[in-house]
Chains A and B, each alone.
Chain A
Amino acid sequence: MTQEEIARWRARNPRAFGPPPLERAVFWAGMALLAAWLVWVFWLFDITPERILNGLSGLGTIILLMIPPSPGELWLDILQGLAESVAMAFLGTFLAALVAVPLGFLGANNMVLNGLARFSLRRVFDGFRGVDSLIWALAYVRAVGLGPLAGVLAIFTADFAVLAKLYAEAIENAEKKQVEGVTAAGGARSLAIRFGVLPQVLPVMLAQALYFFESNTRSAAILGVVGAGGIGLQIAERIRVRHWDEVAFIILLMIATVALIDWISGRIRRRLIGTADGRVR
């Protein structure tokens, strides 16, 4: 291959030899912007190598103090906190699912025909979703006092809107034929919902509630940090007094509990979805 052959190929098929100059310029400009932003945020948050090194050595000390993990003397409190977290997650999810069912029917477009009401309802749903459950927990602690009730209410508030939205989608995706069948056989509208829609959507709804229960076990574990009961309170207290071996123990216990709940709920979920599939086919 001679030089001029290469030049000819380059002229015929420039993109095969790498991006054109303009694209390259845009790329490097983007990189320069990224670098400038990085310099700015490092300055803004005062991130220096010295601070990172100091912090890492502090972290190393903490990790050394964590070994071996120990339940400490108040291990009964830890177990109670863990049970409280799971109970909070369960009650919060149960209440959220309970409220979400009628809201889901209101939000579904094949059930309620008023478009404007539905639209505003969905925007409200989205708004609830934008607030983290920790913020709700803090507010409920001020409203109803310290304790698990605040946690239950926080989980409920953070989730019922999202669940309602998912339920509305499930209802919209339900097959119409069953409803038509019940109506054709002379069933009233309520009967059509009970025997036409509910059997189709109930397994999906239950499965979604279980899925939320799993994720809520994780959130319930930390709600105690702001005083809403559960294991989070125990962990925050022990970090405050720097009992790192007990902190490590609680973290390990939390991971084990979450894994256990995931496993149980996953099994039930698969069974539910399985029967739903079986029934449709």
Chain B
Amino acid sequence: MSGLAVSDAVLRGEAAFQAARRERRRATLFALALLAACLYLAGWVSEVNPEVLIAGFPRVTEYFIRIMPDLRWATLFADSETEGSLASWFYRWDAWALLLLETANMAALATLGGAAIALVLSFFASRNLARSQWSYQLARRTLEALRTVPEIVYALIFVWAFGIGALAGILAIMIHTIGALGKLFSEVIENADMRPWDGVRASGGTWGQACRYAILPQVAPNLISYSLLRFEINVRGASVIGFVGAGGIGQEIYTVISFNYYEEISAIVLMVILTVTAIDLLSERLRHRITDAAGAR
């Protein structure tokens, strides 16, 4: 009797298991079919299919082999006139270093300006400090609009308005930075402790004084840390904004790649990578130090 009951339960369990498995298999198959359809559609729209990819592969490898430097061990440390030396590979390193310095300064100025404006806007865009629904919505929507347009589109437009040069690039990065940082800043401010705020307001402080003395000291380390992170991103952005004539090393990269100066491409890109990595490491150190100091307080 009991054996029959057990086998009954086992049968039911087995049936439920099979049903669940069928259900999952069907869901997986459906997802795979959807993926395949999307892939087919995307390939059809962009005219990229496996044949094109395979046909392109040898050309890509050939290109990357050509941009590799022709270094020779015997003359590796010879002067820049000798073929196959490091110096001839990087024969314009001083000009590039200057351009990279310019690029980093563009990024720094854009980050500083953007962070300053974002700081002011973020107080209006924080729900806990909002003065009125009207100014809150206005600040929020402004920040959103500023960050949804890519930097390079701003740069394309600003090059017409401000002329070719670093100013257009700096402003383009700055505008985008205001939007991106403003959102992060207001999120930090929304998480701030409100008791100091109540204290300042209760003792007769104005809205501005409360922002300055109750909120800012709490959130400053986080804001600085976010700004440094944005600086790292902006250095990358500034390195390509010259593609549209907005200053920095981008113009040089564009020329070098467009005119197929093969070895210079690898040299310049290597320098960009090294600079970006160095700045990242430095800024990461700084960020950790700032957050540690804030945590210890």
Contact = CB atoms under 8 A, between A and B. Distances in A.
Nearest to B150: A222
Interface residues of A, number: 59
Contacts, number: 159
B194 interface: no
A100 B54 CA distance: 19
Given A45-B247, A134-B152, A91 B48 contact: yes
Interface string A62-76: 100000000000000
A225 B152 contact: yes
A55 B162 contact: yes
B45 A87 contact: yes
Contact of B240 (A56, A88, A134): A134
B160 A58 contact: yes
B167 interface: yes
Contacts of A255: 148-149
28 contacts: A44-B105, A44-B166, A45-B165, A46-B167, A52-B167, A62-B157, A87-B42, A88-B46, A130-B236, A130-B272, A134-B243, A135-B257, A135-B269, A138-B253, A139-B63, A139-B67, A143-B60, A143-B63, A149-B53, A153-B60, A222-B152, A225-B156, A225-B244, A235-B156, A239-B157, A242-B160, A251-B149, A254-B149
Interface of B: 38-39, 41-43, 45-48, 52-53, 56, 59-60, 62-64, 67, 102, 105-106, 108-109, 148-150, 152-153, 156-158, 160-163, 165-168, 170-171, 236-237, 239-240, 243-244, 247, 253-254, 257-258, 260, 265, 269, 272-273, 276-277
Given A41-B108, A91-B46, A144-B59, 17 more contacts: A41-B109, A45-B170, A55-B158, A58-B161, A83-B45, A86-B42, A86-B45, A87-B42, A87-B46, A132-B237, A138-B254, A139-B67, A222-B153, A225-B243, A235-B153, A236-B156, A239-B157
